[in-house]
């Protein structure tokens, strides 16, 4: 293999912070006074909105964080059990839940985000969740609700294909598919956005791993997915908004 060195063309460059020396921060949409993009994509008019149970209503027991960290592992074998709606609500809250609305452009979440510019939308390929028909949904963090996006023909096959044949995605109760809306982060960071978006995604998925431990479920991060199939499944253009990470979730047999 050709030995890569750190040039602007090499993948290694991506992991450095050198780009920040090159970005003209006086020339970003933020510094030009352009309004930031909305923190949440609106639901299409007439679409079905499913309110999620609020934290106070969850029948979820407290769980020792130390145990969750110690026992977390990537889990690829799921039972056929359904997830309950409050369990799904808990996972969504843990990964993108709103902690504090400072103002309409600065919304603090349960996970950190560089410059408070969380770029993600959370799509769900639902197979087995109590009270939800199988299909594609999206989390609306500001409303703590789901919007039904569309039905998915043959969801297990579609999700397996999206994950390059990794069959456990089709066996999950629900598969999280995170996209990034590029303009949210680019508004402040321009070309310095891409590394921080990848870092942000890691925090989100780790919270999913830990939250899954609490409810007797498991997950496995997936970076090996088919970009075009993933973007097509969730209905994004793959440029302004694109899939960055996937995580199937299901109940697991307790040891």
Ligand X SMILES: Cc1cc2nc3c(=O)[nH]c(=O)nc-3n(C[C@H](O)[C@H](O)[C@H](O)COP(=O)(O)O)c2cc1C
Contacts to ligand X by CB under 6 A = 73-74, 76, 166, 220-224
Burial 106-138 (b: 16+ CB within 10 A, else e): ebebbbebbbebbbbbbbbbbbbbeebebbbbb
Compute the least distance from the CB of residue 14 to ligand X, in Å: 14
Q: Which is nearer to ligand X, 69 or 223 (CB)?
A: 223
Compute the least distance from the CB of residue 253 to ligand X, in Å: 16
| Torsion sign across C-alpha atoms 9, 228, 76, 57 | positive
Q: Which is nearer to ligand X, 93 or 245 (CB)?
A: 245
In the structure encoding, which two tokens stand for residue 125, read together?
A: 């390929």
DSSP3 helix / strand / coil % (the chain, rounded to 5): 35, 25, 45
Compute the least distance from the CB of residue 223 to ligand X, in Å: 3
Q: Which is nearer to ligand X, 40 or 166 (CB)?
A: 166
Compute the least distance from the CB of residue 111 to ligand X, in Å: 15
In the structure encoding, which two tokens stand for residue 142, read together?
A: 């500001």
3-state secondary structure of 148: strand
Q: Which is nearer to ligand X, 40 or 171 (CB)?
A: 171
In the structure encoding, which two tokens stand for residue 33, read together?
A: 């006074």
Q: Which is nearer to ligand X, 73 or 240 (CB)?
A: 73
Q: Which is nearer to ligand X, 190 or 222 (CB)?
A: 222
Separation of alpha carbons 84 and 249, rounded Å:
12
Compute the least distance from the CB of residue 209 to ligand X, in Å: 7
Q: CA nearest 44: which of 135, 140, 147, 121?
A: 147
Compute the least distance from the CB of residue 225 to ligand X, in Å: 7
């Amino acid at each position: 293999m050709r030995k890569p060195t750190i040039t602007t063309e090499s993948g290694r460059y991506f992991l450095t912070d050198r780009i920040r020396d090159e970005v003209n921060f006086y020339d970003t949409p933020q510094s030009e006074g352009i309004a930031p993009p909305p923190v949440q994509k609106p639901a299409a008019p007439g679409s079905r909105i499913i309110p999620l149970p609020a934290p106070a209503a969850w029948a979820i027991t407290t769980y020792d964080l130390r145990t969750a960290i110690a026992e977390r592992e990537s889990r690829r074998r799921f039972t056929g059990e359904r997830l309950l709606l409050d369990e799904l609500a808990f996972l969504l809250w843990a990964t993108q839940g709103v902690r504090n609305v400072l103002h309409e452009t600065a919304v603090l979440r349960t996970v950190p985000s560089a410059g408070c510019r969380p770029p993600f939308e959370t799509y769900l390929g639902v197979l087995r969740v109590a009270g939800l028909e199988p299909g594609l949904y999206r989390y609306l963090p500001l409303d703590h609700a789901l919007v039904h996006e569309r039905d998915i023909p043959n969801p297990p096959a579609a999700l397996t294909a999206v994950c390059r044949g990794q069959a456990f995605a089709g066996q999950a109760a629900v598969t999280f598919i995170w996209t990034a809306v590029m303009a949210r982060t680019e508004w402040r960071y321009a070309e310095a956005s891409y590394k921080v978006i990848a870092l942000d995604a890691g925090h989100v998925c780790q919270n999913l791993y830990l939250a899954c431990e609490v409810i007797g479920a498991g997950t496995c991060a997936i970076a090996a997915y088919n970009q075009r199939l993933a973007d097509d499944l969730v209905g994004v253009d793959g440029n302004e908004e694109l899939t960055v990470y996937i995580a199937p979730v299901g109940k697991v047999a307790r040891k």
